[in-house]
Amino acid sequence: MAVIELNNVQKVYGKGAAKVVALKDINFKADEGDVVLIMGPSGAGKSTFLTIAGSLQKPTSGQVIVGGEDISHLSTKQSNNLRLTRIGFVLQAYNLVPFLKVKEQFQLVDRVKKGNNISLVVLKKLLRRLKISDLVNKYPNELSGGQQQRVAIARALYANPEIILADEPTASLDSENVDEVGQLFKELAKDYHKAVILVTHDPRLKKYADYIYEMMDGKIVNNRQ
How do residues 51-62 score in pLDDT, each as one tens digit? 999 999 999 999
The chain-wide mean pLDDT, for the chain, equals 89
The terminus-to-terminus CA distance of the chain in angstroms comes to: 20
- Catalogue all structural domains in the chain, each as residue range(s) with its CATH number: 2-15+23-224 (3.40.50.300)
CA 77 vs CA 50, 55, 62, 84, 200: distances in Å: 19, 11, 21, 11, 29
CA 95 vs CA 15, 193, 200: distances in Å: 32, 25, 18
Residue 225: what pLDDT? Answer: 46
The predicted model gives 89-102 an average pLDDT of 86
Residue 2: what pLDDT? Answer: 87
How do residues 167-220 score in pLDDT, each as one tens digit? 888 877 788 888 888 888 898 888 888 899 999 988 999 999 999 999 999 999
Cα–Cα distance between 132 and 145 in angstroms, integer? 13
pLDDT exceeds 50 at position 115:
yes
Residue 172: what pLDDT? Answer: 72
Residue 223: what pLDDT? Answer: 63
Residue 17: what pLDDT? Answer: 83
C-alpha closest to that of 98 among 156, 57, 128, 140: 140
Percentage of residues in the chain with pLDDT exceeding 70? Answer: 98
Cα–Cα distance between 184 and 192 in angstroms, integer? 11
CA 80 vs CA 85, 97, 112: distances in Å: 9, 18, 11
